[in-house]
Amino acid sequence: MLANVNFPVLVEGPSEDAACQSWPAAFGTVLASATLSACGGGGSAAPPPAPDGLTEADAARFLSQASMGADRVGIARVQALGYAGWLDEQFELPSSASRWDWLIANGYADISNRNTQAGFDRVAWQKLIASPDTLRQRITLALSEIFVTAIAGLSGPWKQFAGASYLDLLEEGAFGSHRELIQRISLSLPMGRYLTYRGSAKENPASGALPDENYARELMQLFTIGLVELKLDATLKLTGNRTTDTYGQDDITGLARVFTGWDQDFAGADATTPDYVQRPMIQLPRRYETGAKTFLGTTIPAGTDALQGLTLALDAITTHPNVAPFFSRQLIQRLVTSNPSPAYVERVATVFNDDGKGARGNLRAVVRALLLDDEARSATVAASLEFGKLREPMLRLTAWARAFRVVSPSGNWNVGNTSDAGTALAQSPLRSPSVFNFFRPGYVPPNSPIALAALEAPEFQIANESSVVGYINFMQRAVAGLLGDLTPDYSGLLTLADDAGALLAELNLVLAANQISASSLATLTTAVQGIPSGTASSRRNRVNAALLMVLATPGFIVQK
Amino acid sequence: MNASRRAFLQKVAALSVARYATPLAVSLAAMGEAAASTASDYKALVCVFLYGGNDYGNTLVPYDASRYTLYQGMRPTLAYERAALMPTVLTPSVALPDAIQYALAPELARFLPIFSAGRMAVMLNVGTLVEPTSKAQYTAKSVTLPPKLFSHNDQQSVWQSSSPEGASSGWGGRIGDLFEAGNGNATFTCVNVSGNAVFLSGHTAVQYQVSPSGPVPLRAIDNPLFGSAACSAALQTIVTAPSQHLFEDEYSRVMSRSLTAGRSLTTALAQAPPLTTVFPADNELATQLQLVANMISTATQVGAKRQVFLVSLGGFDNHDELATVHPGLLSTVADAIGAFHDATLELGVADRITTFTASDFGRTLTGNDGSDHGWGSMHFVIGGAVNGGRYYGTAPIVANDGPDDVGQGRLLPSTSVDQYAATLGRWFGVSDTDLLTVLPNLSSWNESQRVLGFV
In chain A, positions 140-169, which contact chain B (CB-CB < 8 Å)?
155
Residue B1 clears pLDDT 80, i.e. is over it: no
3 state SS of B185: coil
Fill in the amino acid letter for B89.
V
Measured distance CA(B414)–CA(B125) in Å, rounded: 6
CA distance B449 to chain A (A): 31
The more confidently predicted of residues B39 and B153 is B153
CA distance B291 to chain A (A): 12
CA distance B254 to chain A (A): 6
Q: Taking CB atoms and an 8 Å limit, are B231 and A221 in contact across chains?
A: no
Average pLDDT score over residue span B226-250: 97
CA distance A355 to chain B (A): 33
Our measurement of the distance from residue A402's CA atom to the centroid of its chain's CA atoms, rounded to an integer in Å, reads 15
Q: Taking CB atoms and an 8 Å limit, are B234 and A523 in contact across chains?
A: yes
CA distance B78 to chain A (A): 11
Measured distance CA(B358)–CA(A7) in Å, rounded: 14
**Cα angle, residue B120 at apex, residues B119 and B124 outer, rounded to 5°:** 155
Average pLDDT score over residue span B109-132: 98
Q: Taking CB atoms and an 8 Å limit, are B231 and A453 in contact across chains?
A: no
The more confidently predicted of residues A18 and B113 is B113
What is the per-residue pLDDT across A89-139, written as a single tens digit (0 to 9) for each? 999 999 999 999 999 999 999 999 999 999 999 999 999 999 999 999 999
Q: Does B255 touch chain A (CB under 8 A)?
A: yes
At B261 the pLDDT is 96
Q: Does A520 touch chain B (CB under 8 A)?
A: yes
Q: Taking CB atoms and an 8 Å limit, are B316 and A201 in contact across chains?
A: no
In chain A, what residues touch B151 (CB-CB under 8 Å)?
Answer: 217, 221, 227
Contact A331, A361 (CB under 8 A): no
Q: β-strands B190-192, A298-300: how paired?
A: unpaired
The more confidently predicted of residues B29 and A493 is A493
Q: For A13-27, A255-269, B368-382, which range has the lowest pLDDT when averaged over its residues?
A: A13-27
At B411 the pLDDT is 98
CA distance B48 to chain A (A): 12
Q: Taking CB atoms and an 8 Å limit, are A23 and B226 in contact across chains?
A: yes
At A50 the pLDDT is 53
3 state SS of A543: helix
Other beta carbons less than 10 A from residue A288's beta carbon: 21
At B2 the pLDDT is 46
In chain B, positions 86-145, which contact chain A (CB-CB < 8 Å)?
none
Interface test with B, best of A4, A5, A520, A528 (most B CBs within 10 A): A5
Residue A399 clears pLDDT 60, i.e. is over it: yes
Contact B447, B438 (CB under 8 A): no
Average pLDDT score over residue span B309-324: 97
Radius of gyration of chain A (CA): 24
- What share of chain B has pLDDT > 90, as a percent? 90
Q: Taking CB atoms and an 8 Å limit, are B216 and A469 in contact across chains?
A: yes
Q: Which residue of A has its CA nearest to B313?
A: A6
Contact A542, A526 (CB under 8 A): no
At A205 the pLDDT is 92
Contact B441, B129 (CB under 8 A): yes
Q: Does A527 touch chain B (CB under 8 A)?
A: yes
In chain A, positions 475-514, which contact chain B (CB-CB < 8 Å)?
476, 480
Residue A11 clears pLDDT 70, i.e. is over it: no
Question: According to the 3-state scheme, what is the secondary structure of B365-402?
Answer: CCCCCCCCECCCEEEEEECCCCCCCEEECCCCCCCCCC
At A46 the pLDDT is 52
Average pLDDT score over residue span A445-450: 93
Q: Does A454 touch chain B (CB under 8 A)?
A: no
Q: Taking CB atoms and an 8 Å limit, are A549 and B74 in contact across chains?
A: no
Nearest CB to B213 within list A385, A422, A528 = A422
Residue B18 clears pLDDT 90, i.e. is over it: no
Measured distance CA(A556)–CA(A69) in Å, rounded: 12
In chain B, positions 232-251, which contact chain A (CB-CB < 8 Å)?
233-235, 237-239, 241, 243-251
Nearest CB to A388 within list B165, B247, B252 = B247
Q: β-strands B208-209, A389-390: how paired?
A: unpaired
Residue B229 clears pLDDT 80, i.e. is over it: yes
Q: Does A248 touch chain B (CB under 8 A)?
A: no
Domains along chain B with CATH numbers: 42-212+259-449 (3.40.720)
Measured distance CA(A505)–CA(A60) in Å, rounded: 13
CA distance B369 to chain A (A): 8
Q: Which of B44, B288, B291, B49 shows the shortest CA–CA distance to B189?
A: B44
At A337 the pLDDT is 98
In chain B, what residues touch A558 (CB-CB under 8 Å)?
Answer: 245, 247-248, 251
CB-based contacts of B230, cutoff 8 Å, min separation 6: A526, A527, A530, A531
Q: Does A46 touch chain B (CB under 8 A)?
A: no
Q: Does B146 touch chain A (CB under 8 A)?
A: no
Nearest CB to A552 within list B51, B235, B253 = B235
Q: Does A2 touch chain B (CB under 8 A)?
A: yes
Measured distance CA(A331)–CA(A66) in Å, rounded: 11
For helices A56-66 and A363-372, what crossing angle results, to 10°?
140
CA distance B144 to chain A (A): 13
Other beta carbons less than 10 A from residue B194's beta carbon: 28
Q: Taking CB atoms and an 8 Å limit, are A208 and B400 in contact across chains?
A: yes
Q: Taking CB atoms and an 8 Å limit, are B196 and A249 in contact across chains?
A: no
What is the per-residue pLDDT across B379-411, written as a single tens digit (0 to 9) for each? 999 999 999 999 999 999 999 999 999 999 999
Q: Taking CB atoms and an 8 Å limit, are B372 and A214 in contact across chains?
A: yes
Q: Does A434 touch chain B (CB under 8 A)?
A: yes
Average pLDDT score over residue span B262-286: 96
Q: Does A14 touch chain B (CB under 8 A)?
A: no
Q: Does A239 touch chain B (CB under 8 A)?
A: no
Nearest CB to B73 within list A207, A460, A472 = A207
At B40 the pLDDT is 56
At B184 the pLDDT is 87
In chain B, what residues touch A155 (CB-CB under 8 Å)?
Answer: 320-321
Beta-bridged to residue A187, according to DSSP, are none
Buried b (16+ CB within 10 A) or exposed e, A391-418: bbbbbbbbbbbbbbbbbbeeeebebebb
Residue B25 clears pLDDT 60, i.e. is over it: no
Nearest CB to B261 within list A196, A444, A465 = A465
What is the per-residue pLDDT across A285-317, written as a single tens digit (0 to 9) for each? 999 999 999 999 999 999 999 999 999 999 999
In chain B, positions 394-413, which contact chain A (CB-CB < 8 Å)?
400, 408
**Polymer length of chain A:** 560
Q: Which residue of A has its CA nearest to B71?
A: A207
At B439 the pLDDT is 98
The pTM score is 0.91
Question: According to the 3-state scheme, what is the secondary structure of A240-290?
Answer: CCEECECCCHHHHHHHHCCCCCEECCCCCCCCCCCHHHHCCCEECHHHCCC
In chain A, what residues touch B191 (CB-CB under 8 Å)?
Answer: none
The more confidently predicted of residues A553 and A5 is A553
Q: Taking CB atoms and an 8 Å limit, are A436 and B208 in contact across chains?
A: no
The pLDDT mean for chain B works out to 92
Nearest CB to A212 within list B166, B250, B372 = B372
At A27 the pLDDT is 32
Q: Which of B42, B18, B26, B453 shows the shortest CA–CA distance to B262?
A: B26
Residue A452 clears pLDDT 60, i.e. is over it: yes
Residue A466: pLDDT band (50, 70, 90) is: very high
DSSP assignment of A137-196: HHHHHHHHTTS---GGGS-SS-HHHHHHHHHHHHHHHTTSBHHHHHHHHHH-HHHHHHTT
Q: Does A228 touch chain B (CB under 8 A)?
A: no
What is the per-residue pLDDT across A404-420, written as a single tens digit (0 to 9) for each? 999 999 999 999 999 99
CB-based burial label for A52 (10 Å; 0-12, 13-18, 19+): middle
What is the per-residue pLDDT across A205-239, written as a single tens digit (0 to 9) for each? 999 999 999 999 999 999 999 999 999 999 999 99
Average pLDDT score over residue span A156-162: 97
Contact B235, A552 (CB under 8 A): yes
